[in-house]
Structure 1
């Protein structure tokens, strides 16, 4: 077998994102021929695709695509390591898929996987990238918003990595400044729901039961418990619903007040953070 230098191994790793030992073995088997080594890595990757199904893809990126101001798609594409997240092939795949989502409006992830981009299904594109980069690559989720005025915001938690947080905010009418402020606020404050009346009934019931138990354990008078519980539930709404949160730029105002003062209504939002529910 040909002897290869660490510089050659590093170069091949940068080109393919494959593991160091895999790159070394491929170069040795290829006699130092880079093109042949890349092909060997692709073949090995294709054979290993099935073995990766049980592995965890908790790294990745958030990508966005706009079609004018009234349609936008947000995508979370996952991989196993931040090394692959930085890879141009992985990032190009995310760009292609999020554009495809905005153009075709699939109903869900299974429908998206079976749809075609340039004659290949999205699933086939994922498997090819999986094979080439040597990691489990998967679409975790996507959101498509349409109507009104939609803005987006992407945030890098590490300047060396692609965006790990992405937000879409949908207003009933155009207001770029307020939409941007609310999107950046959403990225920072991570609300779970739009408003108290959009929180699922089972979630409210669970929180209410928890506060009732806590309040009784604190020895509060029975007659005072309902009022204390409602107060705690209202405080929970201020933490977890966007419209009731204190605005990060002016904590004397809620997001609801910011929107009302601007004459707009927040219709919906989506916030993704890589690896989080």
Structure 2
């Protein structure tokens, strides 16, 4: 692999200095030790605070000992976590960004494929309402609702099979989140007082922010929301296809469904279809 295609990590220190390092091997240590690959000289950083390593073709972060580490604000608790390009590791008071050029290129390729195929589809002449997926129901109800959703969803996403989990379907689903949020904001503006979403959910808060900024605006943390949804779908795919861990996969997909409660939003469709097949 060319040097420029290797992953890297970077952060800005409290003094304003940017430090960065490329991940050249299969293991990468973050800590305060002089032997660490990314050395952070701070009192709250252990000698070996966290380890980034290559596992089955994916980059994962491993917490060393009891050292606190978070990803996009979510504290890791004893389990290795798959890293996606753009994820931000929280160590002490620092935010360390992980960047993987290979993953970025794959996302762009998948996004371009979806866009190119969508252009060949006939555009809808009228908009249809977005339906919402209840949080608790049996697998039979899920299947019926999915059939309804697949019949109603826009042609732009018909070229992607959201019944199957893959890097392409994950990227396509994540790329549709801004459109889903914009539709939710528009629906909310047209129906004041309607409580179709949990007002405390990240999805609802983002749609309200988009409504407040106008259709030309964009919630400042939409990329973080997309990263969280992508990571949960990645976790579900890995648990399902590599680890054969159905409970872990169901847990990840359920979290996606709770993060994105709109039935016609592809991220929800993808997670719900996998739950239905897994018996969740």
TM score, norm. by length of structure 1: 0.25
Larger Rg: 1
Ranked by relative contact order (alpha carbons within 8 Å, sequence separation 6 or more), the top structure is 1
Higher share of residues assigned helix? 1
